[in-house]
Amino acid sequence: MTDPNIPVTEDELHAYVDNELPAERRGDVEAWLATHPDDAARVQSWRAMAETLHARYDGVLDEAVPKRLELERLVRQPRRWVYGAVAATLAAFIAGGGVGWVARGATAAPSTFQSFTLDALDAHRLYVVEVRHPVEVPGSERDHLQQWLTKRCGWDVRAPDLSGLKLVGGRLLPGPSGPASFLMYESTSGERFTVYTAKAKTEATQMRYAAQGSDGALFWADRGVAYVVSGGTDRTRLTQVARAVYDQMEKNGG
């Protein structure tokens, strides 16, 4: 065992559920769970979700990989594709994370998650309070906005249609690894959500949640682009918006 006084992180809880936790740390995590019922309940729910996914999708492991995923790495690892590409929508957006999104590739390093999420939350807090100048290009110029951000950012930037939310507009921002696109949406009650995207040195990651003060964010990455959807700390509502963004990005091919 390592030092039992070291707090158990969420990443370690995920690794514990996935049987990927180093042996020397496993006893510490089990001791932690014995005295932290909330974390123990989360672990139990994640395991239940994992069992559900195995029961539902183990039978399709031999199905052909979609052409856009026909990379040697993925062909040799069909199980990763099944639990990523097929089960992502079901698992990735469960509030509480956990078994999460078994990715179509490597998971992001914590520093990637932290740097993108902090930048996105900083931008969210800075601009959602603006009344007259929250964006550079208004949502009424959607086509121009998408073309401009695509040209400047270097990937296909799309402003998704989100049910119940109006596109306020967007702007270009500096990101952790180059330009970043920033889109803002607003509900009829004035609640605002933002979608921040920038290039990332990873193909795919599980979705992860972070909160600072009165703001929450959900981060994921896919095909070399990281996404952060930010809003209030109502995690269920934030998850609904993030799922809608993810679904449309998948439908449009990123």
What is residue 220's three-state secondary structure? Answer: strand
Q: Looking at the domain assignment, is residue 155 inside a domain?
A: yes
Provide, rounded to the nearest whole percent, the portion of the chain with pLDDT above 90.
39
| pLDDT tens-digit map of 24-33 | 888 888 998 8
Domain count, the chain: 2
- Count other C-beta atoms under 10 Å from residue 193's C-beta: 25
As a whole number of angstroms, the distance between CA 196 and CA 242 comes to 11
Task: Indicate if 138 and 58 belong to the same structural domain.
Answer: no
Where helices occur in the chain by DSSP H, the ranges are 10-17, 23-35, 37-57, 72-75, 78-81, 88-91, 110-127, 142-153, 235-251
If asked whether residues 128 and 242 sit together in one domain, one would say yes
Please report, for the domain that includes residue 221, its CATH number. Answer: 3.30.200.100
Residue range 62-107, pLDDT digits in tens: 555 454 444 444 333 443 333 443 333 333 333 333 333 333 333 4
Nearest to 235, CA basis, from 60, 31, 94, 61: 94
What would the mean pLDDT of 120-145 be, rounded to a whole number? 95
Q: Is residue 193 domain-shared with residue 143, that is, in the same domain? A: yes
Cβ atoms of 182 and 173 within 8 Å: the answer is yes
pLDDT at 204 over 80: no
Contacts of the segment 131-136: beta carbons below 8 A, 24+ positions apart:
134/168, 134/169, 134/184, 134/192, 135/168, 135/169, 135/170, 135/171, 135/182, 135/184, 136/169, 136/170, 136/171, 136/172
Number of H helices, E strands in the chain: 9, 7
Q: What does each C-alpha distance from 160 to 87, 129, 139, 166 come to in angstroms? A: 22, 22, 11, 10
The answer to whether residue 79 is domain-embedded is yes
Chain centre distance of CA 185? 18
Which tokens in the block code for residue 233? 């700390």
Same structural domain, 23 and 138: no
Task: Judge whether 165 and 187 are in contact, CB under 8 Å.
Answer: yes
Angstrom distance (rounded) from CA 24 to CA 127: 45
Do 68 and 118 fall within a single domain?
A: no
Query: Which residue type, as a one-letter code, is found at position 220?
Result: W
Q: Are residues 226 and 191 in the same domain?
A: yes
Residues 171 and 247 in one domain: yes
Do residues 29 and 1 make contact, with C-beta atoms less than 8 angstroms apart? Answer: no
Mean pLDDT lowest for which of 106-115, 122-131, 133-142, 241-250? 106-115
Q: Confidence band (pLDDT; 50, 70, 90) for 232?
A: very high
Are 232 and 149 in the same domain?
yes
- Residue 75 forms part of a structural domain: yes
198 membership: H or E segment, kind and range? strand 192-199
* pTM recorded for the entire structure: 0.60
Is 4 a domain residue? no
Contact, 115 vs 201, CB < 8 A?
no
For residue 204, give the DSSP letter: B
Domain of residue 185: give its range.
110-251
Examine the domain organization and report whether 244 and 150 are in the same domain. Answer: yes
The answer to whether residues 66 and 127 belong to one domain is no
Measured from the Cβ of residue 181, the count of other Cβ atoms closer than 10 Å reads 26
